[in-house]
Amino acid sequence: MINVTKPYLPDRKKLEGYIDLIYNTARMANNGPLVRDLTDRLEEYLNVENLLLVANGTLALQIAYRTFGIKGRAITTPFSFVATASSLMWEGITPIFSDIDSQSFCIDPQKIRTNITSETTCIVPVHVFGNPCDMQKIEQLVHNSNLKVIYDGAHAFGVKYRRKSIYSFGDAVTLSFHATKLFHTVEGGAIVFKNREDCEKAKLMVNFGISKPDTIEKLGINAKMNEFQAAMGLCVLDEIETIMEKRQFLWNRYDERLKNYFQLQKRNPEATNNYSYFPILFEDEKSLLCAKRELNNNDINPRRYFYPSLDTLAFLSSPNNMAISRDISKRILCIPIYPDLSTDDQDKVIKILLEQHK
C-alpha cells in the first residue's frame, strides 16, 4: 500500500544508543536529559528561543490558550485539522470561523477584520500545508490591541519567512511532532513563545503546576514529553537534511508533472518550502472521488486533507457559510509524499491522476 505519508524511521542503532542512556539513568520523564538536549537542539535548528516540548500538538494548543488566559471568542480557520478548532472548544473558547483565501488555502486577513468584536480575545491562524499565512497583515490587525495571536504551525517545521523562522512570529506558535510529520517524536509537540516569562509560566502548567518537590504553585496538567519521545526526535533531527532533500526531490517531480493539469496551492513567495504535503485541486468533487477510487483500486491511499470544512461539523457549527473553505475542502486531495517513496511508485500515482484527468 502506498499511503499518503509514512513515518520516518531513523537509524536503529543510534536510537538504541539513546535508549541505553535511558536504561542507564532510569530517567524516563520530568524534563530528563534527552528532553533538555532536544530542546536545545531544536532552538538552534529553528533559530528560536523559549521552546517548550510537550506530549502532543493538541496539548501544545491548549497550553498556549491557558498561558495567555484566552476566553470568550477566538477567530480561526475552518480549513485545518479538527484539533485547531476542537482544542478551543475543549478549553471553553468559542471558535469563530473566518474564511480562507482560495489560492493559498490560508485564512484571509480581510475576513478576519470583519469578525473581530468586543468578545474576541485571540486569533489562531494556520500555516496550511506549511505555507505561511499573511502574517504581516495579521500582525497589523492586532497592533495596538489586546488580541493575542497564536499560530498553529503544525505543518511548518523548518519554514522561514523573510529569512526568519516562522516560529518567531506572534505571541506563540505551536508545533506538532506526530509520527506523520516530516520531523517527529512518534507523538509530541512544542510551543515557541515570544516572551520568556510566558514560557516559564507554561513550564509550570505542563508539570501539574509543580515548581519544586514540595511546592505546587498553580493549576496544571500533565503535558510533558518523555525521554523515549525525545530519543526518537534526536535521531530524526540528526537525519533531517536527508529527509528534506528526499522530500524536495519528490515534491519537485510532482510539481513538474502535474502543475499544468491541476490547480496547486499558491506558495507564499517570501517563504521557504518544507515539502511536507502535495495537495492538488480537482475541478469538482465528482472528479476527485473518481480519481480517489481508482487510486485506491491500485493500492494507493491519498487523503482528503482537509475534509470536511470545520464549519460544517455540528459541534463546531458556524452561523456563517464558509463558502471558499467548503468548496476547497470538497475538491482537494493530498497525494503520497514521504522520503521512502520510490520514483516508480510516484510515477504510478502520477499516471493514474493524469489518466483520470482526461
pLDDT value at 319 more than 80 = no
Q: What is the mean pLDDT of the chain?
A: 96
157 by DSSP, 3-state: which? coil
Tell me the pLDDT band of 283, cut-offs 50, 70 and 90: very high
Residue 111 CA to residue 48 CA, distance in Å, equals: 30
H helices of 3-107, where? 12-25, 33-46, 57-67, 83-90
**pLDDT band at 53; cut points 50, 70, 90:** very high
Boundary residue ending a domain (215, 238, 261) = 238
Mean pLDDT on 277-299? 98
**Does residue 86 sit in the same domain as residue 145?**
yes
Same domain, 231 and 270: no
Amino acid residing at 251: W
Same domain, yes or no: 116 and 194: yes
Its domain, for residue 193, covers: 2-238
Do 148 and 206 sit in the same domain of this protein? yes
Global pTM value? 0.96
Residue 318 has pLDDT above 90, yes or no: no
Q: Are residues 323 and 311 in the same domain?
A: yes
Do 278 and 338 touch, CB atoms closer than 8 A? no
Integer angstrom CA distances of residue 202 from 54, 57, 207, 332: 10, 14, 9, 36
Which CATH number do you get for residue 352?
Answer: 3.90.1150.10
pLDDT-derived band at 5, boundaries 50, 70, 90: very high
Residues 97 and 199 in one domain: yes
Amino acid 13: pLDDT:
97
Which residues are catalytic, by number? 181
